Amino acid sequence: MPTCLVFGSANFYGRALTQLLCHERKQQQTADVWEIRGVDKILPQLASFPADVLALYSTIDYRMGNLRCRGFLEQAFKRDDGKPWDFVFNFAAELKFGQSDQVYDQDVRQLSANIAQLAGQHSVGVLVQLSTALIFAGSSNSQCTEDSAADGAQTTVLAKCHADAEASARLAGVPVVILRPALCYGPGDRQNAVPMLIMAQLSKQDGDNRMPVLWDKDLRISTVHVADVAAAALATARWQHQRPAAVATFNLADAGDTTNARLAQAVGSLFGVEPSFQNVAVNFIVKRLKTAELAEEVNQSLLGPWMDLLAAHGVSNSPLSPYLDQEHPYCRLDSQPRGVDGSRIASTPGLRFEYQHPRLSPAALREMVEEFQAVGLWPAIPI
């Protein structure tokens, strides 16, 4: 059975991978020969995990420390028997919107360069680098493939740093897999789909039963469930482990071809509200706003009512917010649609990968909200 080192084990993506690895270990009933080490900058106890998820972290070798410290990373690579890790997953590169240029430089570019160098020095079996589909710079409404122009410099600082991180991974000198997920949702997501979920909840509470939606209906904003990201990471690591040293890159996006309308309809269906797309005149005005001005207008209209709703239901401390940072792909959807073709991974010979969530569904969004309610981060309002 493989030995697995997971950087970013307690974040949104790393949690899903940790759950999958623990599930595989249980299914194969070979816990004594599995070695799973999780590494991150936070304690799992402070991550607002449900009890069953939190319990998993006591069954792995979890280490908390400063990911910016190369010495700490070096120690994480060392095993008692001196052997190299079979699979190293870099899920730690920052994907949170709204961080400073310095944070992205340190927590994406420099962190990934250090992990790639150490992976090479320790001759690991496979390095899996979690990147992002935000690095695609196109302005058309087509679906980007792995061969599309990936120039993060044309989008955001976050995307540019992830493009540089990919370049570092390619130089590791060991077999490498680079994964580029589209807009990712699922249990633990606090920034991607959450703003629209909150908007729908507020629309329902207003009694209007209409949820205002910006931009054209047909603009693409491809999606992928976080469980499929985790499954893709493990499947590609196993596949790449059997090949000579090479680099493989895969987009991750379901086959549902999510558009602005399909996203709004899935969210609206969950809360029983009807998406109301703005008319041409309103969208014309919005298009002339700068991205920062648009984000400010949206945020000012939603933050107050959301805080009031939390207070009314006794939720005193929630990290969830309708806040749309200007780096959020939805703020730029009109000028930079986010269509992603994630079919290559499912058609690659020998990989045997299949998306378990082939399209965005109200049921998957419900799972997110109900978990937030269970851990006290969302008002306990029936949905």
Task: Report the distance separating Cα 152 and Cα 321, nearest Å.
Answer: 26
Which tokens go with 181? 């997920």
Contact, 118 vs 77, CB < 8 A?
A: yes
3-state secondary structure 339-352: EECCCHHHHCCCCC
φ, ψ dihedrals at 353, nearest 5°:
-105, 140
Residues of the chain with pLDDT under 70: 29-32, 151-154, 278-299
Handedness of CA 367, 185, 109, 118 (dihedral sign): positive
How does strand 247-252 pair with strand 3-7?
Answer: unpaired
pLDDT at residue 301, as a whole number? 79
Percent helix, strand and coil across the chain, each to the nearest 5:
45, 15, 40
| Vertex 229: Cα angle to 225 and 230 (nearest 5) | 115
Coil, helix or strand at residue 96: coil
Q: Of 152, 128, 373, whose CA–CA distance to 248 is shortest?
A: 128
Contact, 353 vs 235, CB < 8 A?
A: yes
How does strand 3-7 pair with strand 35-40?
Answer: parallel
Which tokens go with 110? 């420099």
pLDDT at residue 152, as a whole number? 54
- Residue pLDDT, tens place only, 246-297: 999 999 999 999 999 999 999 999 999 999 886 443 444 344 444 555 556 6
pLDDT at residue 11, as a whole number? 98
Task: Report the distance separating Cα 26 and Cα 85, nearest Å.
Answer: 20
Task: Report the distance separating Cα 116 and Cα 89, nearest Å.
Answer: 10
Strands laid side by side in the 35-40 sheet: 61-64, 35-40, 3-7, 87-90, 126-130, 176-181, 247-252
Contact, 341 vs 349, CB < 8 A?
A: no
Task: Report the distance separating Cα 104 and Cα 93, nearest Å.
Answer: 8
Coil, helix or strand at residue 41: coil
